[in-house]
Amino acid sequence: MGVLVFWVLGGLFTLWLAAINPGQPGQPGPREWLEVAINNPVVRFLTHPAVNTIQFLVVFYILYLTLAYDVAVSGARQSPHHEHRRSCGPVSCTTGRSLG
């Protein structure tokens, strides 16, 4: 099951490389920029499956075992409809009337 996540994340770059045509000779295009970004040593290290697994596990522990979770959730505690208001703006999504 975990391998599927890595396949999906890597599939996007494969799709882009297949869909984007190479640039003119002597003029790099988006495909060449993507190849440079993919082959960058820092990106290659950060996207290595072992590093990604460690990041995936550690971030959740940091989030839940520190005050970062309370800070992240504190905005949702402002009102019961806080997220709904943010997603719909000043006009209600269902009735078209103002929420104010």
In angstroms, the CA 20 to CA 53 distance is: 30
List alpha helices for the chain, DSSP H: 2-19, 30-38, 41-46, 49-65, 68-73, 82-88
In angstroms, the CA 48 to CA 2 distance is: 14
The yes-or-no verdict on residue 63 having pLDDT over 90 is: no
pLDDT by residue (tens digit) across 16-57? 888 988 888 888 899 999 899 888 999 889 888 888 888 888
In angstroms, the CA 70 to CA 73 distance is: 5
What pTM was computed for the model? Answer: 0.48
The yes-or-no verdict on residue 13 having pLDDT over 60 is: yes
